[in-house]
Structure 1
Amino acid sequence: MGNPLIAQNVIQEDLNRIVEWTKDWLLTLNIDKCTVLHIGCNNPKKEYVVNSKKLRSVDSQKDLGITITHNLKWDKHIINITRRANSMLYLIRKAFLHIDKELFVRLYKSYVRPILEYGFQIWSPYFQKDITLLEKTQRRATKMVTGLSKLQYEQRLKCLELTTLDARRQRGDLIETYKVLTGYYNVPKIRAVFVLNKNEKLRGHSLKLSRTSATSNPRLHYLPNRVVNAWNKLPQTVISAPSVNSFKNQLDKYLSQVL
């Protein structure tokens, strides 16, 4: 790793350049809305200044709809999105006296599930309490369908042709991995976030992955590490799909056989 003091100085220099740029273009920065999020237990928590004013330090910050905390745990984000999803379910319940299967699936997929899944490749939960909290929201939602409230959760999902949120996150991880490894994103060196296993004696497909070393839960459970087992179990027929849509179709067919 590089020298943290040098990295902090670089950040301050970047802030200084931003200030100069705003002056050149006659723009004004609202310093009261600018904050600093220090990430990591060993972070020296250097103070940063903009226009000679020290920036306020915070424990969490929302960026592009995802709440990031100083310890990189996702419980705060998950609490926020489950509250939003439950509020949406409340509005749906108030708006419709009778909700049949077709109406529920259309409403749930359009207005509720996207809240629970947006950006999960970044914040996918690894503590059971967080996984349970998310699933509890979908569990409650499926009881809204007329005639299904007395069935078991798994039966309700089957009737509605839905899967658990945990299963959908794993499917999404596999799709994202396929996109990165096959060059779907036109981003230089993005493939380097995954480590290919170069041991040719291993059985299985041609794009097997290896885990990177991890000493913390966030590192252990980020996408390139948590997806390794599920990805390596895929057959070559799925991995060699010629397009994203073809991969999804092959993947769904494979998952329906193994689950």
Structure 2
Amino acid sequence: MSFNPTKCDVIRIAPCCRKIIDTKYSLHGHTLEVVDASKYLGVTITESLTWEKHIVNITCKANRTLGFLRRNLRECTPPVKKASYKAMVRPSLENAATVWDQHLQNHIKAIEQVQRRAARFTSSQTGTSKVVMREPGANTGYSRNQVLANSFPRTVSEWNLLPASTVSAPTMDAFSIGTI
């Protein structure tokens, strides 16, 4: 496998009290740029390991997509609007949610604002309907590091509560039916 050095970055993740040695990295003769945040598989990772920048990115993308749908599907029926929301907006809000599992109230509020706009769009109302992506719950996992405490442990414990038939579902449709 060959790497394209112009698409590679260096992100330094270290405790705030540890001194970082300023080192230049190169790949195929190209010096790599040091950045404070980078996108990997649709998830924005920052040097501080916070999800603020990721939440901002996904909500901005979802709002732009929702605006596009509102402009172009203004006269469509609610089922068409709902299907377009589920196909184009919701996946950008849910992408890799098990990794960045929202737990701060301002993150939850930002995502729910997009969902409220989408609910008004899909129902063709101006009221404040609410579409819930997932209900935030209490952190059940233990972690000395607060960054990790609100990512995998909580999601894993919820996954482990699913029935075996749902976990081993052969298709996504069968899995969706099993989780209802």
Could you tell me which residue of structure 1 aligns to residue 147 of structure 2? 218
Could you tell me which residue of structure 2 aligns to residue 6 of structure 1? none
Q: Distance in 2 between matches of 1:106 and 1:84?
A: 18
Query: TM-score scaled by structure 2?
Result: 0.78
Structure 2 residue corresponding to 1:153, chosen from 119, 129, 139: 129
Q: Distance in 2 between matches of 1:231 and 1:121?
A: 10
Structure 2 residue corresponding to 1:74, chosen from 51, 57, 78: 51
In the TM superposition, what whole-angstrom CA distance separates every residue of 1:59-118 from its partner, at most 9, and x where no partner exists? 101112211001111111111111111111111111123232211111001111111111
Does the residue aligned with 2:91 lie in a helix, a strand or coil? helix
The reply on whether 1:249 has 2:174 as its aligned counterpart is no
The reply on whether 1:60 has 2:28 as its aligned counterpart is no
The reply on whether 1:101 has 2:53 as its aligned counterpart is no
Aligned partner letter, 1:74: W
Structure 1 residue corresponding to 2:163, chosen from 239, 242, 246: 239
Could you tell me which residue of structure 2 aligns to residue 90 of structure 1? 67
Could you tell me which residue of structure 2 aligns to residue 133 of structure 1? 110
Aligned partner letter, 2:101: S
> Number of matched residues?
171
Aligned partner letter, 1:219: L
Could you tell me which residue of structure 2 aligns to residue 40 of structure 1? 14
Preserved CA contact (<8 Å) 1:131 1:166: no
Q: Does the C-alpha gap of structure 1 residues 40 and 231 become closer, same or farther in structure 2, counting only changes over 3 Å?
A: same
Does the residue aligned with 1:45 lie in a helix, a strand or coil? coil
Preserved CA contact (<8 Å) 1:125 1:131: yes
Preserved CA contact (<8 Å) 1:37 1:70: yes
Judging by fraction of residues, say which structure has more helix.
Answer: 1
Could you tell me which residue of structure 2 aligns to residue 166 of structure 1? 134
Query: TM-score scaled by structure 1?
Result: 0.56
Structure 2 residue corresponding to 1:49, chosen from 19, 25, 31: 25
Aligned partner letter, 1:89: L
Preserved CA contact (<8 Å) 2:98 2:155: no
Q: Does the C-alpha gap of structure 1 residues 124 and 239 become closer, same or farther in structure 2, counting only changes over 3 Å?
A: same
Greater Rg over alpha carbons, structure:
1
Aligned partner letter, 1:120: A
Could you tell me which residue of structure 1 aligns to residue 96 of structure 2? 119
Q: Distance in 1 between matches of 2:7 and 2:59?
A: 26
RMSD between aligned residues = 3.0
Preserved CA contact (<8 Å) 2:37 2:44: yes
Preserved CA contact (<8 Å) 1:99 1:144: no
Aligned partner letter, 1:220: A
Which structure exhibits the higher relative contact order, with contacts defined as CA atoms closer than 8 Å and separated by 6 or more residues?
2
Q: Does the C-alpha gap of structure 1 residues 62 and 101 become closer, same or farther in structure 2, counting only changes over 3 Å?
A: same
Aligned partner letter, 2:144: T
Give the superposition deviation at 1:146.
Answer: 5.2
